[in-house]
Structure 1
Amino acid sequence: MKLLTIGGLLVEIMRKNIDEPFTESHSFVGPFPSGDTPIFINEAAKLGNECTIIGTVGNDGFGDCIVNRLQESGVDTSVIKVKEGYTTGTAFVAYFGDGTRQFLYHWRHSAAGMITEEDIDAIDLTEFDWLHVTGITLAVNNHCKKAVERLIEKLPSTTTLSFDPNIRPEVLSAEEIRVLCEPIIKRSEYIFPSATEASMLTGLKDDVSGCKEWAKQGKTVILKNGEKGCIVFHKDEMLEIPSFKVEEVDPTGAGDTFCAGFVTAIGDGMSLYDAGRFANAAGALSVKNKGPMEGASTKKEVELFLKEQERTTTH
């Protein structure tokens, strides 16, 4: 398929060890290419799709870091702007022993936040089969919000739209995200909520109820449950698909990698259940390396992993 996405092109700089808060002096590692939709499109390209991303970087080494990685993976970076006078966006990450993470973003006032409506008007959207967007891109600032809205407005009816809410309280409140997300949810055919997001965005008591409500509206909903796997809701179906056990090094980006795996599998004609397994496998492989794109896998590697899992289960 020909896939398009839009979003913040960032580098990620992370604490070397767990339980090292930002309030104290400790070592960092990085920079690693990052950003939710860049992680998505990087994996989608490695899985064999034709991929393009709309975004902006600064004229600096961090910008080169992420653009070079995307190009290496086969992403078309021709519509990425280099914004003079702005530095490339960054995300600092600290990990803690209880499994939580703390993010510190430089995004709104960096090059990553300088996506505009003019960037959308310069692209022929009829070329693309699928568009993937996220809530955090809407939430960064008014420039990005209007760009995404323009993109949805111009999107041909024949182009499939998938949406990952990816709510980040560090960027905008959940209530504000709900208002922003509503028009995109209405247009989306596929929705990829994480824990608490379906409940919050629908106002229903729990995620399962929220996902079922969206499914009644004709959408395919894939609830990402991390190490528990995923649940796919389609019409009256509710498919629980278990995860794969791997040694986790860095969970950042696993959900975005999962989305790329699922979209690819659907494009390849897989059933919803098989698409969920394929996506779970891609997500599992992604957490085995430090850095959100470092565990990105090719289709052959994902398929080999799935075969190895089948052999292990059989024996």
Structure 2
Amino acid sequence: MNQAKVLCVGVAVLDNIFAVEQIPREPTKVFAKSFGLTGGGPAANGAVTAARLGGAASLWARVGDDAVGQIIVGELAGCGVDVSLVRRIPGGRSGVSSVLIDSEGDRFITAFADRTLQTDPSWLPLETIRDYDVVLCDVRWPAASQVVLQAARDQGVTTVLDADLTSDDAVERLIGFADYSIFSAPALERLSGTPDFAAALRIVQEQTSGIVGVTLGEEGFAWLAEGELRACPAFRVATVDTLAAGDVFHGAFALAVGEGLATADAGRLASAAAALKCTRWGGRAGIPNRTEVEQFMASSSQPVASETPIKIT
């Protein structure tokens, strides 16, 4: 199999991760059991995932020209991601997050994003998108995602949208441009207005001709194909840390699509990669490689993903 070329577009940040017994419910001081400093951000984590799973990953993103930006770019390069088009914005401040992870693997995130960081995507070399097998866009830099998704469509390149929660209408504006819009459950509920994911998928399907799907954590992955609901059961694991699991799913899914896998097979590979990541502490540091994922799938008793319509009761 030829190495699939994956272009990821969006945000790259630096995560400060603290392991605590419990996430505090009131103002107090908490002493962490452990600490990790690692890169984060949906597009950046997607690119690292694609690289670790054997793809050739490139990232188009912005960071500040501060010390944090230098750390972000250096780590991504060390992970095998092409960062030649990660722009350092003069005077800008790079994104950072403070993440508390409790003993159950649940997390509490406080994030900073410089709202004055340049959003103009006109410097991106859109004409080179045809050189990639697949494009993955997040919703944190919507101005870039929109022009990239449109250019990819014009050039016949498959696209995947990481449709996560935002504070604006970015998801609604972008899903019509994507071949695959893979939602988080909260983002799907927000856009559709219903917590019933099967009904919600049918509602958002009206806004795009592409495939719509949703990641459901322990309940797996579901999507619509020709109006029928399909599902990929979740892999059962002992959860240590869920940070970056959704990003890993999207990065693995995009790579699989770029390799030519069908939606069901791409969903199973992505589910396995995300599940393995959840067994490891440290956000991005826990992203598995391709051999680990394939061995995990081979040893798992999880049912094969279904291309047969299912009924949800």
Query: TM tier, shorter chain?
Result: 0.7 to 0.9
1:214-240: CA deviation from partner (whole Å, max 9, x where unpaired): 456542222101122111321133222
Q: Of 140, 147, 150, which residue of structure 2 is paired with 1:150?
A: 147
Is the contact made by 2:138 and 2:145 (CA closer than 8 Å) also made in structure 1?
no
Question: Quick check: 1:104 aligned with 2:95?
Answer: no
Question: Quick check: 1:162 aligned with 2:160?
Answer: yes
Question: Quick check: 1:89 aligned with 2:92?
Answer: no
1:86 to partner: Cα distance: 3.2
Q: Which has the higher contact order (CA 8 A, sep 6+)?
A: 2
Structure 2: distance between partners of 1:147 and 1:267: 21
Once the two structures are overlaid, the 10-residue window that deviates more, 37-46 or 195-204, is: 195-204
RMSD: 2.8
1:122 to partner: Cα distance: 7.2
Q: 1:57 to 1:198 in 2, by over 3 A?
A: closer
Is the contact made by 1:196 and 1:207 (CA closer than 8 Å) also made in structure 2?
no
Q: 1:153 to 1:231 in 2, by over 3 A?
A: closer
1:246-285: CA deviation from partner (whole Å, max 9, x where unpaired): 2222101101101122222233333332222211110011
1:4-33: CA deviation from partner (whole Å, max 9, x where unpaired): 122221111123204344943334523211
Structure 2: distance between partners of 1:23 and 1:34: 26
Unmatched runs of 5 consecutive residues or more in structure 2:
305-313
Q: Helix, strand or coil for the counterpart of 2:284? A: coil
1:127 is aligned to: 131
1:19 is aligned to: 22
Once the two structures are overlaid, the 10-residue window that deviates more, 85-94 or 33-42, is: 85-94
Question: Quick check: 1:54 aligned with 2:60?
Answer: yes
Question: Quick check: 1:260 aligned with 2:239?
Answer: no
1:97 to partner: Cα distance: 7.0
Is the contact made by 1:198 and 1:206 (CA closer than 8 Å) also made in structure 2?
no
Structure 1: distance between partners of 2:293 and 2:153: 32
* Percentage of pairs with the same residue: 24
Q: Of 76, 80, 105, which residue of structure 2 is paired with 1:74?
A: 80
Question: Quick check: 1:114 aligned with 2:118?
Answer: yes
Question: Quick check: 1:244 aligned with 2:229?
Answer: no
Q: 1:223 to 1:214 in 2, by over 3 A?
A: same
1:50 to partner: Cα distance: 1.9
Q: What is the letter of the counterpart of residue 8 of structure 2?
A: T
Q: What is the letter of the counterpart of residue 226 of structure 1?
A: G
Structure 2: distance between partners of 1:269 and 1:117: 29
Q: 1:300 to 1:97 in 2, by over 3 A?
A: closer
1:303 to partner: Cα distance: 0.5
1:213 to partner: Cα distance: 4.0
1:96 to partner: Cα distance: 5.3
Structure 2: distance between partners of 1:270 and 1:156: 19
TM-score, normalised to structure 2, is 0.83
Larger fraction in helix:
1
Q: What is the letter of the counterpart of residue 5 of structure 2?
A: K
Is the contact made by 1:120 and 1:150 (CA closer than 8 Å) also made in structure 2?
no
Q: What is the letter of the counterpart of residue 111 of structure 2?
A: Y
1:139-196: CA deviation from partner (whole Å, max 9, x where unpaired): xxxxx4433333344434212221122104xxx2xxx33xx32231111110111214
1:201 is aligned to: 191
Q: 1:81 to 1:312 in 2, by over 3 A?
A: closer
Question: Quick check: 1:187 aligned with 2:191?
Answer: no
TM-score, normalised to structure 1, is 0.82
Is the contact made by 2:105 and 2:241 (CA closer than 8 Å) also made in structure 1?
no
Q: What is the letter of the counterpart of residue 109 of structure 2?
A: F
Is the contact made by 2:93 and 2:114 (CA closer than 8 Å) also made in structure 1?
no
Is the contact made by 1:219 and 1:234 (CA closer than 8 Å) also made in structure 2?
no
Structure 2: distance between partners of 1:298 and 1:97: 25
Structure 2: distance between partners of 1:264 and 1:273: 14
Is the contact made by 1:31 and 1:62 (CA closer than 8 Å) also made in structure 2?
no
Structure 2: distance between partners of 1:89 and 1:205: 31
Q: Helix, strand or coil for the counterpart of 2:63? A: strand
Is the contact made by 2:134 and 2:257 (CA closer than 8 Å) also made in structure 1?
no
Is the contact made by 1:232 and 1:276 (CA closer than 8 Å) also made in structure 2?
no
Q: What is the letter of the counterpart of residue 146 of structure 2?
A: E
1:231 is aligned to: 222
Is the contact made by 1:259 and 1:279 (CA closer than 8 Å) also made in structure 2?
yes
1:292 is aligned to: 283
Is the contact made by 1:52 and 1:76 (CA closer than 8 Å) also made in structure 2?
yes
